[in-house]
A and B are shown apart, each in its own frame.
Chain A
Amino acid sequence: MDSTILAILLQDGVVNGAIYALLALSLVLVFAVTRVIYVAQGEFVAYGALTYAALDGGHLPGSVALLGVLGLAGCAAGLWQARGRLDRPAVLRLLGETIVLPAVIAVAAIILAPMKPGVLVEVLLTLAIVTPMSPLLYRIAFQPLADAPVLVLLIAAVALHLTLTGLGLVFFGPEGFRAPAFSDITITAGPLMIPGQALWIGGLTFALMTALFAFFERSLTGKALRATAVNRLGARLVGIPTERAGLIAFALAGFIGALSGVLIVPLTTVYYDSGFMIGLRGFTAAIIGGLGSYPGAVLAALLVGVAESFSSFWASAFKEVIVFTAIIPVLLWRSLRHGPAEEEE
């Protein structure tokens, strides 16, 4: 192997790793706030990618209809969960979030989609369509289980992943899609040809991480989310609506998932079920980082990306095997370092 290949592999690894880092961050965030290990996050990558690809082709994406369906289901679930303690403002708020908002987005999509409004509007529209699905799913699937053990939440998350993959096939069809890059510029640096998309990915990842950091450090909502993560009951006692915190965390995860999808679809063909494997890498990173550390997750994600690009060079058939079994030595190391973890659920 010469240094050019090495550099290319590294670059590939870092670019993919940046995406995994975003996913890992949102997994850590959702886990901290809600204790849900959000296996279904990968579906948002696929949904984001396919929605963007459809908009780019001038078609109305299937996810618009899906958003409508989820909105109705979320409304029904919200009404059912709050039965007996419904008042006018609560109902209006619920209707606004589950019916009006999706309807507005759908109308915007129906009007804009055939106009091929350009990359920026298409990206924003994609985010607007896909992001709200995540809090809707929180309402439907997880809110009633808010006090269940981590394991039950994990099983529910896996079940949700199953449903969303099936729905993905229904609403997007079995074909894979790829979209053009945001820009065609290529920067040459020595032996490296850095494509514009890689710069976009790096730049947006960095910007998003900075924004998240500011959000958690500076804003009241961000601090409330952190408080919920540390101690749910305590947060509730000081007046933080923890259900709201869950909705916000899921919305952030949906947003990050959709954005990752938009960023990744120019690099690789995305199918309705591609999200799981992409999400699983973010997952691996989050676990390696210990499910509690943001910098740890980012670092681990970059490692996973690099490991992946090198193993696809050397043993491409066993790429997945290598990437996913890498988790085992890490768990062993954690296990030895932490000693017995006696936790009571």
Chain B
Amino acid sequence: MKALRPFWPLPALLVALLLPWLPGLPAFWVTLANYTGISSIVAIGLVVLTGISGMTSFGQATILGLGAYTTAVLSKYCDISPWLGLPAGLIVTAAGASLLGAVTVRLSGHYLALGTIAWSVGLYYTFANLDLLGRNDGISGIPPLTILDLKLLDGRASFSVIWIGVILAALATNNLLDSRAGRAIRALKGGAVAAASFGVDTPRTRLLAFVYAAVLAGFAGWLYAHMQRSVNPTPFGFYQSIQYLLMTVIGGAAHVPGALLGAVLVTTVNDRLQDILPRLFGAHGNYESIVFGMLLIAVLQWAPNGIWPLIARIRPRARIIRADALRLPARAMPAPGTTLLDVARLRRSFGGLVAVNDVDFKLAAGEIVGLIGPNGAGKSTTFNLITGIDTPTAGQVSFNGQDITGWPARRIAAAGIARTFQHVKLVPTMSVIENTAIGAHLRGHASALAGLLRLDRTEDARLYAEAARQLARVGLADMADRPATSLALGQQRIVEIARALCLDPVMLLLDEPAAGLRHNEKVELAALLRRLQGEGVTILLVEHDMEFVMGLVERLVVMDFGTKLAEGSAEQVRNDPRVIEAYLGSVE
């Protein structure tokens, strides 16, 4: 299977070219297959949008319509070659999607979905009311595609064009998902916070996923217009949009082959139902919509991941690490002993609750400092404030001489602060090494387009080589290709450390790294942290395991109820009466 993977497009291409000419194949089946192909392309786009980045669109049919109308108008009224209608259609759909996407991607996910309902209704009525677009009658007599002087009028010729389109869409999507930009898209589902902490521009990545899905729908619209050779508003309505979503969800929303499976199933079942249902219940009624609605709900309840994962064994693909890949350039570490992090009168209140109350502390470059305190002391909130996940109410954070207060998380990551999370945030559908490679996001520069076209392979190999190196460093090299969440929780925390190291950090913030580790694993972790310190990395860690902390750190900062209680060496802190009281209660 693994060896076959790179070659599947070739046999698929042969099938696309030859299958329709099979003697005895009914023309009706060819037509059905053409519609299936067009739907597949839309559904593949929805895989990226819904299955992988966790957003959705109820307007894909309308976007398809946008692509179809664009090429229809250009080729019929402006005498422009149908081939030029493709880039034009893609530009129009991408622009429309960017506009809608830009206003919604910063809001939580369902606003985008609701926005697509509204704009799909709006656009539908625009199609149906503009004279230029022929109102409800639409535009007919659209010129067919031509190759040299050959007009592709035959459904069998369309079959080849459409299915080559499907192959291209699947290839491009696989390439994209396997690239740096694709990892960022996939990381959205493991938690936007974690992605942002490694420099992923999450709103832009959401926008990318939405525009990509829209462009595929626009592509499908171009194919549709020149195959059908006429367009009218009906197939671009809300109902059809739901059908595309249904295909994706039924097939398996997170998998490209699932989209194909879903398209085949829904198109075929739809065709059969339109045949059977009127015979059962009489022509009077729209029974398919009843059946499809119920089917969609049933799938959501019983097989929320769709059918594809039920029939195919899905596991992350094994990565081949190129040992000859050039090492990524490393950043220069600040001189040991200089002040690296300066937290001054840091404050965060949630309504009346002051979670962090005017906390001050400093870290010198090359130090290991522990941040301890009872539960609810405000340690994790302090971490979130330093890393830009949360914004302080007042106070200042300076890093390496720069005031970083209020910077977005991704900018702070770029400055060289990497972190792990108290509640592990790995992407469950990605392997250990893929998760780790997200940490190196900022050390690569390949664009989504480069990923799509496979122009990023040299850089990507370097990113993966770095991820492999960091995994080896934390002792998890042999787990690289396992699904991330199949590891024990303690090991997942170590994966998070490897991911953080991929950023080439100046400072590491570790939130309870030793929780869930066995004794000898803790010993190894402590040794690793000391080695990192030796390389100039500064470490701030929150930890409850006092034996682990006391043996490791040079200094401790103790927090309780949001305020700094004490600061000093392990010995000083251990004998501080206020600390004893905070941990053990008052001894009166």
Contacts and interface: CB of A to CB of B under 8 A. Distances in A.
B108 A341 contact: yes
A162 B290 CA distance: 6
Given A37-B110, A151-B109, A159-B294, 4 more contacts: A151-B50, A154-B56, A155-B249, A160-B293
Nearest first, the 3 A-B pairs at minimum CB distance are: A163-B293, A166-B290, A162-B293
B296 A159 contact: yes
Contacts of B122: 320-321, 324-325
Interface in A141-199: 141, 144-145, 148-152, 154-156, 158-167, 169-170, 173-174
Interface stretch (B191-199, B263-271, B311-319): B191-199
B488 to A, nearest CB: 23
B205 to A, nearest CB: 12
A206 interface: no
Nearest to B114: A287
Nearest to A162: B293
Interface string A261-274: 00000000000000
Nearest to A152: B300
28 contacts: A145-B300, A150-B109, A150-B110, A151-B55, A151-B56, A159-B292, A159-B293, A159-B300, A162-B242, A163-B294, A166-B286, A167-B290, A174-B284, A277-B121, A280-B117, A287-B114, A318-B129, A321-B129, A325-B122, A328-B100, A328-B118, A331-B103, A339-B106, A340-B106, A341-B106, A342-B192, A343-B108, A345-B109
B202 A166 contact: no
A162 B239 CA distance: 8
B54 to A, nearest CB: 7
Interface string B493-506: 00000000000000
A163 B289 contact: yes
A209 interface: no
B301 interface: yes
B111 A287 contact: yes
B304 A148 contact: yes
Contacts of B121: 277, 280, 320, 324
Contacts of A320: 121-122, 125
B103 A328 contact: yes
Contact of B106 (A145, A149, A338, A345): A338
Nearest to B409: A342
Interface string B389-433: 100000000000000000010000000000000000000000000
B408 A342 contact: no
Given A159-B242, A165-B289, A340-B106, A331 B115 contact: yes
Contacts of A164: 293
B296 A344 contact: no
Interface string A321-337: 10011011101101100
Given A152-B304, A334-B107, A325 B118 contact: yes
A260 to B, nearest CB: 19
B119 interface: yes
B58 A158 contact: yes
A320 B106 CA distance: 26
A335 B106 CA distance: 6
Interface in B171-213: 191-193, 196, 202-203
A342 B205 CA distance: 13
A120 B53 CA distance: 51
B293 A331 contact: no
B126 interface: yes
Interface residues of A, number: 53
Interface of B: 50, 54-56, 58, 99-100, 102-104, 106-111, 113-115, 117-119, 121-123, 125-126, 129, 191-193, 196, 202-203, 239, 242, 245-246, 249, 281, 284-290, 292-294, 296-297, 300-301, 304, 389, 408
Nearest to B282: A170
A148 B300 contact: yes
A122 to B, nearest CB: 27
A242 interface: no
A37 B110 CA distance: 9
Given A37-B114, A327-B118, A166 B126 contact: no
Interface of A: 37, 39, 141, 144-145, 148-152, 154-156, 158-167, 169-170, 173-174, 277, 280, 283-284, 287, 317-318, 320-321, 324-325, 327-329, 331-332, 334-335, 338-345
Contacts of A167: 290
A345 B54 contact: yes
A169 B286 contact: yes
B109 A335 contact: no
A166 B290 CA distance: 5
B196 A342 contact: yes
Contacts of A280: 117-118, 121
Contact of B129 (A156, A317, A334): A317
A195 to B, nearest CB: 28
B225 to A, nearest CB: 22
B199 to A, nearest CB: 15
A329 to B, nearest CB: 8
A335 B100 CA distance: 12
Contact of B126 (A156, A318, A345): A318
Contacts of B99: 328
Nearest to A31: B110
A327 B122 CA distance: 10
Contact of A158 (B106, B242, B284): B242
A296 to B, nearest CB: 15
A141 B296 CA distance: 10
**Which residue among A154, A158, A174, A280 has the maximum number of chain B CB atoms within 10 Å of its CB?**
A158
Contacts of A148: 300, 304
A344 B193 contact: yes
A156 B111 contact: no
Contacts of A321: 122-123, 125-126, 129
Nearest to A336: B106
Contacts of A154: 56, 110, 113-114
Given A160-B293, A331-B104, A335-B106, A325 B119 contact: yes
A338 B113 CA distance: 18
Contacts of A151: 50, 54-56, 109-110, 113
